[in-house]
């Protein structure tokens, strides 16, 4: 339960942030070059965070399964 809630919160925050900044690009229109670069950088950051979240999810799942199988 804790892993799913953690992943949901991180994904929702990232998508909301990208949606807000993409709205800035659309609102500025023709002069939206700087926000467009910022949105592209945030998209790269989202991919980095997604890889990190997958790694953390895998490690924590393995730890939880190990504890469930080898109770001392």
The DSSP output letter for 71 is -
Query: Burial, 49: exposed, middle or buried (Cβ in 10 Å; 0-12, 13-18, 19+)?
Result: middle
pLDDT at 4 over 80: no
| pLDDT tens column, 21-68 | 777 777 776 666 777 787 788 889 888 988 888 898 899 889 989 999
Average pLDDT estimate for 14-24? 81
| pLDDT computed for residue 32 by the predictor | 63
| pLDDT computed for residue 69 by the predictor | 93
Output the CA torsion 18→33→23→17 (10° steps): 20
Average pLDDT estimate for 4-28? 80
Alpha carbons 32 and 10: distance in angstroms, whole number: 27
| pLDDT computed for residue 62 by the predictor | 92
């Amino acid at each position: 339960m804790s892993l799913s809630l953690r992943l949901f919160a991180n994904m929702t925050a990232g998508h909301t942030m990208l949606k807000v900044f993409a709205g800035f690009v659309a609102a500025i229109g023709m002069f939206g070059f700087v926000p467009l670069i910022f949105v592209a950088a945030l998209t790269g950051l989202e991919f980095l965070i997604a890889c990190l979240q997958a790694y953390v999810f895998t490690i924590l799942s393995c730890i939880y399964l190990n504890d469930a199988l080898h109770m001392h």
